[in-house]
Structure 1
Amino acid sequence: MRQVILDTETTGLDPLHGDRVIEVAAVELVNLLPTGNVFHRLVDPERDIPAEATRIHGFTNADLQGKPRFATIVEEFIAFLGDSPVIAHNAPFDFGFLDAELRRCGAPPLDRSRMIDSLALAKLRYPGMPNSLDALCRRLGVDNSMRAAHNAILDCRLLAQVYLELMGGKQPGFELAASQAGGADALTMGESVAWTPRPIPVSDDQAGSHQAFLRAKVKDALWLKPPFATEA
């Protein structure tokens, strides 16, 4: 199961008023866990970055001087997303900005059916509580101490941990299996556990003592009645 965690940083809050993407990051998940495969680009927004935006994410005009325009990275970005579901915190915000950038490049917008909004999931799980990424990190025990400012790639990595917890904290198909190399048990994905039944032998005296104990302590036990009983 491949999914992609996505985040953007922008020059402002509204792409319809000329605000642009300045950073785009994506982290690949397989079975809810990061694979190490990431996409991360700083982008020249072709406009000035307002001071209030810089206070949020820390990027200045000088930081983006000489960076590629979105049109230069669009094919690589679309290829990284593939046809996988896309997870973002407050996803309509990121999708709206990316759709505006894609339209400028003559590319189709992102299919909304692929969108998974982790903020909406958090609100369902924790109604009436703060559900920002920072709040969720604190609540779920995710270390966000390095998050001094908004940063798309760091936020993707934090959201990957938060999303795993929102989905139950367990990777699908995660099982104990024997290590092929050393013979010790190892944690792997999607493999069955090889096992050999080892019944514990019980003597007739032990079995009789157990039955007597049950008859004395458990009244009207179902397993002592037909069809479960083995003796009259």
Structure 2
Amino acid sequence: MRSVVLDTETTGMPVNDGHRVIEIGCVELIGRRLTGRHFHVYLQPDREIDEGAIAVHGITNDFLEDKPRFKDVADEFFEFIKGAQLIIHNAAFDVGFLNNEFALIKQADRADISEYCSILDTLMMARERHPGQRNSLDALCKRYGVDNSGRDLHGALLDAEILADVYLTMTGGQTNLSLAGDGSEGDSNGRQQPSAIRRLAADRPRTRVVRASADELSEHLARLAVIEKSAGAPALWTQLEQVPAEA
């Protein structure tokens, strides 16, 4: 089976507030081994990135000024994922954003990628195996002993490669991520080695904002939404707000 491990970064959340995809990272697995093929692109979203999102992925508006738009890479991206099993952590988030990108460029026939790919959500898988526990990507790395140090990829591509390690370990069996045989389509330098995770949602401080302005409140909510996507569960601050006050 051909699988594609996928991750995205966005301008913020939710998608129905006009937020856009700004980075796509994918790595290919065939026979539970990385082939060396990957798809990676930064995208110009034609809107500002929320400050809360920048704090998580570090991608700035200035950095994206000269980057292509989704319409410029849509065909190449679609061909890369078409027919594959997509392995995604918190799949509803990424799939919803990618479907929206195809809809915005009037490619209605591609606006539901589940019609062309099967989708495996590792967050749902982890929740079934470890109910009541943290199931963020970082937590799973720690739980399964996956080394997330010494990597030199960044953002969505970094997380896709980490998730490939976690998925193979979590599902047992062959976990050797070395390249496939000489006939593989990897680049001439072989597979890039993994580097340290840049965002550690579990360690980020969550500070209560008192009498926030409208702009500060908007940034605060965006930050919590991005943390929820990264951690695979509501942020602690969100959970505290949902606890009813004692009489």
Bigger Rg over Cα: 1
Aligned residues: 172
How far apart are 1:169 and its partner, in Å? 3.6
CA RMSD of aligned residues (A): 2.1
Residue number in structure 1 paired with 2:113: 110
Contact 1:3 1:87 in 2 (8 A): yes
Contact 1:71 1:105 in 2 (8 A): yes
Residue correspondence of structure 1 range 1-232 to structure 2 within 5 A:
1-107=1-107, 108=110, 109-111=112-114, 114-145=118-149, 151-170=155-174
Compared CA separation, residues 146 and 16, structure 1 to 2 (3 A): farther
Superposed CA deviations along residues 14-67 of structure 1, whole A, max 9, x for unmatched, are: 111100000001110011221110000000011111111100100111111110
Letter aligned with residue 30 of structure 1:
I
Partners in 2 of 1:33 and 1:149 — Cα distance? 18
Contact 1:87 1:115 in 2 (8 A): yes
Superposed CA deviations along residues 58-90 of structure 1, whole A, max 9, x for unmatched, are: 011111111000000000000101211111000
Partners in 2 of 1:88 and 1:4 — Cα distance? 9
Contact 2:165 2:175 in 1 (8 A): no
Partners in 2 of 1:149 and 1:135 — Cα distance? 20
How far apart are 1:145 and its partner, in Å? 3.3
Relative to total residues, which structure has the larger strand share, 1 or 2? 1
Contact 2:23 2:40 in 1 (8 A): yes
Compared CA separation, residues 35 and 148, structure 1 to 2 (3 A): closer
Alignment identity in percent? 46
Contact 1:11 1:49 in 2 (8 A): yes
How far apart are 1:110 and its partner, in Å? 0.7
The alignment's TM-score, normalised by the length of structure 1, stands at 0.70
SS of corresponding position for 1:79: helix
The alignment's TM-score, normalised by the length of structure 2, stands at 0.66
Letter aligned with residue 124 of structure 2:
A
Indicate the larger mover: 42-51 or 140-149.
140-149
Indicate the larger mover: 2-11 or 162-171.
162-171
Compared CA separation, residues 47 and 146, structure 1 to 2 (3 A): farther
How far apart are 1:146 and its partner, in Å? 5.4
Compared CA separation, residues 146 and 10, structure 1 to 2 (3 A): farther
Superposed CA deviations along residues 117-176 of structure 1, whole A, max 9, x for unmatched, are: 01111111112111100000011111223589971000000000000012114269xxxx
Contact 2:3 2:30 in 1 (8 A): yes
Structure 2: 5+ residue runs without aligned partners?
Answer: 177-247
SS of corresponding position for 2:124: helix
Contact 1:27 1:157 in 2 (8 A): yes
Partners in 2 of 1:62 and 1:149 — Cα distance? 20
Contact 2:22 2:45 in 1 (8 A): yes
Question: What stretches of structure 1 move > 4 A for 4+ residues in a row?
Answer: 146-150
Letter aligned with residue 103 of structure 1:
A
Higher relative contact order (CA 8 A, sep 6+): 2
Contact 1:119 1:131 in 2 (8 A): yes
